[in-house]
Amino acid sequence: MSYFKPDFLFEHFSDIKLNWLEEQRVKHIFSDLDSTLTGHGKLGDKKFENWLKSLREYDIQLIILSNNSQGRVDRFTEPYGIPGYGMANKPATTKIKGIMEEQNAVPETSLFLGDQLFTDVWCGKRLGMKTVLVHPVNPEHEPWNVALKRKLETLIRRRW
């Protein structure tokens, strides 16, 4: 089950501080969107904007990887001009390896950030990156299929 075990756990993305990212030698953060950086269908909030600003100050590139549509990703990324990829096929890695090349990212200095074990954490592990699991933002407003997946995740976690 260690394939689903994240390297680090944080309550919220904004708890991931810059000095910690520097210690971990992170240059690229590949992040899930929905329930990780914002609620389902929602845009970035003030916390996100401040966090992004600090990443930029430290020259850390944030890249959005979502299994949701490109349209959804674009609505989120456009105000900030950050790269974002929809239909990312997580936890499959072929498409994302291409994206890593495009972004000049290597696994050793990349971090995968997400709220789901089966898609985000597993995907990051398969890519050889460090993985961070966060608690979902607004869990009470999730679609039913995401809620179901979380129940399965809870069962898996008990066996760690």
Q: Is 56 or 157 the residue whose CB approaches Mg ion more closely?
A: 157
Number of residues located near Mg ion, criterion CB under 5 A = 5
Q: How far is the CB of 59 from Mg ion (least distance, A)?
A: 26
Which one-letter DSSP state was computed for residue 2? G
Phi then psi dihedrals of residue 65, to 5 deg? -125, 110
Which range in 30-38, 53-61, 73-81, 125-133 contacts Mg ion by CB under 5 A?
30-38
142 binds Mg ion (CB under 5 A): no
Nearer to Mg ion, 109 or 135 (CB): 135
Contact residue for Mg ion among 13, 34, 122, 142 (CB under 5 A): 34
CA nearest 5: which of 110, 88, 124, 109?
Answer: 124
Helix (H, G, I), strand (E, B) or coil at 66: coil
**Maximum CA pair distance of the chain?**
41
Q: Whole-number minimum distance, CB 119 to Mg ion, in Å?
A: 7
Place of tokens 């401040």: 50
Expressed in angstroms, the distance from the first to the final Cα of the chain is 7
Residue from 115, 125, 129, 132 binding Mg ion (CB under 5 A): 115
The kind and range of the H/E element at 29 are strand 28-31
Cβ 136 to Mg ion shortest distance, Å: 7
DSSP state of 7: S
8 Å CB contact between 21 and 58: yes
35, 38, 67, 131: residue in contact with Mg ion (rule CB under 5 A) = 35
Site map 64..103 versus Mg ion, x via CB under 5 A: ----------------------------------------
Closest to Mg ion by CB, 36 vs 131, is 36
User: φ, ψ for residue 129 (rounded to 5)?
Assistant: -95, 165
Q: Please give the residue ranges that form the binding site for Mg ion (CB under 5 A).
A: 32, 34-36, 115
